[in-house]
Amino acid sequence: MESWNQTATDEVRSHAPGEVNKRIDERVERCVRHMAEQERSQISHYLEKLEREWDLNRAVMVVGSAMALLGLWLARRDGGRWRILGEVAAGLMLQQGLMGFGPLAELVRALGGVRTRKEIDLEKFALKALRGDFERIPKPDGGPLARANAALVAAQS
């Protein structure tokens, strides 16, 4: 089945392996379907959690900075040969900043399932639609699954 998430302008998604994107999309679908059966207060609580979720760029900057600092610290203790770790980390962060994607981002995304800001926002908008925050989104008959599917489609609009 083709994914409901058609975020074509997302550089990270376009460069990530399809199975990684699929795994992240399926997690969002499961969550939205689960939340379609919950009370508004539980949806609101989960939305607060999503507000605090780190996106991929933030995670890459933290991982890259930690690698650079570790390289500097090890180079200081070991006579400088670990300095290459800091240099590589700085280069990877520069690539991420300039191009919007890179090997470090792919690694963090694949291993940790860290999502882009657009992916997090899509889930938030779908949950807000479920909660009834938007007047123009129709409320389909057919129960929680139909509501979840309508919310996911509305989040893409």
Buried b (16+ CB within 10 A) or exposed e, 90-121: eebbebbeeebbbebbbebbeeeebbbeebbe
The pLDDT confidence band at residue 136, using thresholds 50, 70 and 90, is low
Whole-structure pTM value: 0.79
pLDDT at position 69 is 94
d(CA 142, CA 131): 16
pLDDT of 6: 57
Residue type, 7: T
Residues 87 and 47 occupy one common structural domain: no
Domain presence at residue 7: no
Q: Could you give the number of structural domains in the chain? A: 2
With bands split at pLDDT 50, 70 and 90, how would you rate the model's confidence at 145? Answer: confident
Domain that holds residue 100: 55-114
Give the percent of the chain with pLDDT over 90.
55
Quick one: 131 and 151 in the same domain?
yes
Domain end point (choices 97, 114, 131): 114
Q: What is the pLDDT of residues 11-58, one digit of tens each?
A: 888 888 889 999 999 999 999 999 999 999 999 999 999 999 999 999
13, 116 Cβ separation under 8 angstroms: yes
Residue 100 shares a structural domain with residue 61: yes
Same domain? 47 vs 76 = no
pLDDT band at residue 2 under the 50/70/90 scheme: very low
